[in-house]
Amino acid sequence: MGDFMETGLTNLSRFLLEEQRTFTQASGDLTLILQQIALAGKLIGAQVSRAGIVDILGEASSKNIFGEMQQKLDLFSHNTMISVLDHIGKLCGMASEESDNLIRIPTKHPSGKYLAVFDPLDGSSNIDVNISIGTIFGIYRKLDDKTEGCNEEDFLQPGKELVSAGYIIYGSSTMFVYSTGCGVNGFTLDPGLGEFILSHPNIKIPECGSIYSVNEAYRNTWDSVIRNFISHIRKNKNRRYRSRYIGALVPDFHRNLLKGGIFMYPGDSVNPEGKLRLLYEANPMAFIVDQAGGKATNGKNDILDIKLNSIHQRTPLFIGSKYEVELLRKMLNEEVKV
């Protein structure tokens, strides 16, 4: 360990502890929650890397609340997130995209003042074809610390009330990216050490980008303004825009966070509210991009300002660099015409 520390590398645990010391009232509860989520990322990442040689590929026999077939690795990831968090005494409840109802802390374990929400495996349709996928998480503080347990109202807070959010991406390397409201930092897993090492300190998304990410197969079902926006930026003579779309929010967002651009998942004539979940996907990513200097909107309002009506509420999402997101928002609200 001495040799490791002498290299000047900073691992996630050390970074969290140093960040914790900057908050004089910090109890260490949030630090422990984030450490446990990082542990879940290591466990899930290990299974992802072995998915082709163990019986974990393909569909399970169950469906989630939306009637979608759950993948085997989806269920493993869901159960892993719960198992690393339900016993630590820092949470009063959890909510998962894969669960119809709130996840209560077993009475045999102590309860805490925080809530965790997560999409345990974003992009699971890509599992069988070995494309990057991810885990998304958010952490809230419950509304009343003096009450026992939690209720659904605790989970319906707008995203601006998040105390921390982040994601883990499983690709050519495994990365843990998070924020506690003090900027965004990224850590890459060193398989030899088994440690997340600070690799992307103080991430800032470029003010303007050159990438747009959207499934253009649905172009004919969108509002004409969105089609016009894409045509407009593609004609930009000062910046050559490129279409890049993986089909999973975490890797598409991660690329644009580092390189600049806009990710779009609009509503359409079949799904006017889009398909992304506000609580599990849009809010955590909006928190991250806001801390990195970017923007996120549903086309009318900032994502972080939206009050939820249900834990499985859907939303359109336009997220990324300020210039592109704000231009699209203004076009959708007829504030500018191009």
Q: What CATH code would you report for 211-332?
A: 3.40.190.80
Contact (CB, 8 A) for 131 and 123? yes
Q: What is the model's pLDDT at position 131?
A: 86
Q: What is the model's pLDDT at position 58?
A: 58
- 3-state secondary structure (DSSP) of residue 137: strand
pTM of the model: 0.92
Q: Which amino acid is at 298?
A: N
Q: What is the model's pLDDT at position 5?
A: 45
Tokens of residue 2, six digits:
């001495």
In the chain, what are the domain boundaries? 2-200, 211-332
pLDDT tens for each residue of 295-321 = 999 999 999 999 999 999 999 999 999
Q: Cβ contacts of residue 80 below 8 Å, gap of 6+?
A: 40, 43, 44, 120
User: Within the chain, which residues score under 50 in pLDDT?
Assistant: 1-6, 69
Contact (CB, 8 A) for 119 and 157? no
Q: In the CATH scheme, what is the homologous superfamily, with its name and number, of domain 2-200?
A: Fructose-1,6-Bisphosphatase, subunit A, domain 1 (3.30.540.10)
pLDDT tens for each residue of 108-132 = 888 899 999 999 999 877 777 778 9
CA 332, chain centre distance (Å): 25
In which region does residue 209 sit, left (phi positive, over 0), alpha (psi from -120 to 50) or beta (all else)?
A: beta
Q: What is the model's pLDDT at position 6?
A: 46
DSSP state, residue 106? P
Angstrom distance (rounded) from CA 265 to CA 262:
10
Element (H, E) at 91: strand 91-96
Q: What is the model's pLDDT at position 23?
A: 82
Q: Which amino acid is at 290?
A: D
Angle subtended at Cα 112 by Cα 106 and Cα 114, rounded to the nearest 5 degrees? 110
Q: What is the model's pLDDT at position 25?
A: 78
